Structure 1
């Protein structure tokens, strides 16, 4: 479920920019498979925050909004970011090219 949500969320900003055509529904995952990390890395901070928010919420963690995010050292070879939520909680989110996210709390530095 997380994989589908992240892929669809990553595709949402692109779909919103399109003309009048509808975004494909069944091909989004197949067309984005394997390049999830590159797409997230290329996003501006607001878009990336939305993806990280979705990962945090899918992990059933408390967060109403991601205020900021910064790159963190890779975890298990997967790129990672530290997301700071509106309640000042901090979450480490590592995302693989398969779109699956690992979320863990981190102490603020």
Structure 2
């Protein structure tokens, strides 16, 4: 009876170890997927967009920053700032915003509160 109990305990422990290995494998796979996503160069993605699509990105960035903008009416590429591609985006024909895009896709916005 004792031997049977020991064998069953050993079988249960072996099964538990196998179950622990599977989440570890899934965690490694998930980390690899996240690292692959981190490798996306959003700067190149934004630069490669057609003008209207790029201005849509600028519109979303300005609005996400809590600034008022109904439409980006024009944009122009400026000299890179801190190694990040930078544009001047004009909202509604008269509100300029300087937008830099970091490699991870963050939009850094510099706006003048007295632009109007």
> How many matched pairs?
80
After superposition, residues 1-109 of structure 1 pair within 5 angstroms as 31=37, 33-105=39-111
SS at match of 2:45: helix
If asked which structure has higher relative contact order (CA below 8 Å, sep 6+), I would say 1
Unaligned residue ranges in structure 2 (runs of 5+):
1-32
CA distance in 1, matches of 2:62, 2:39: 21
Query: Which 4+ residue blocks in structure 1 deviate beyond 2 angstroms?
Result: 30-34
CA distance in 2, matches of 1:66, 1:33: 29
CA distance in 2, matches of 1:74, 1:56: 19
Aligned to 2:17: none
Unaligned residue ranges in structure 1 (runs of 5+):
1-26
- CA deviations on 1:34-63 (whole Å, 9 max, x unpaired) are 321111101111000000111111111111
Note the aligned Cα RMSD (angstroms). Answer: 2.2
Pair 1:32–1:40, CA change in 2 (3 A): farther
Higher helix share: 2
Q: Please, what TM-score do these two structures have when normalized by structure 2?
A: 0.61
SS at match of 2:97: strand
**2:76·2:88 contact (CA, 8 Å) conserved in 1?**
yes
Q: Please, what TM-score do these two structures have when normalized by structure 1?
A: 0.65
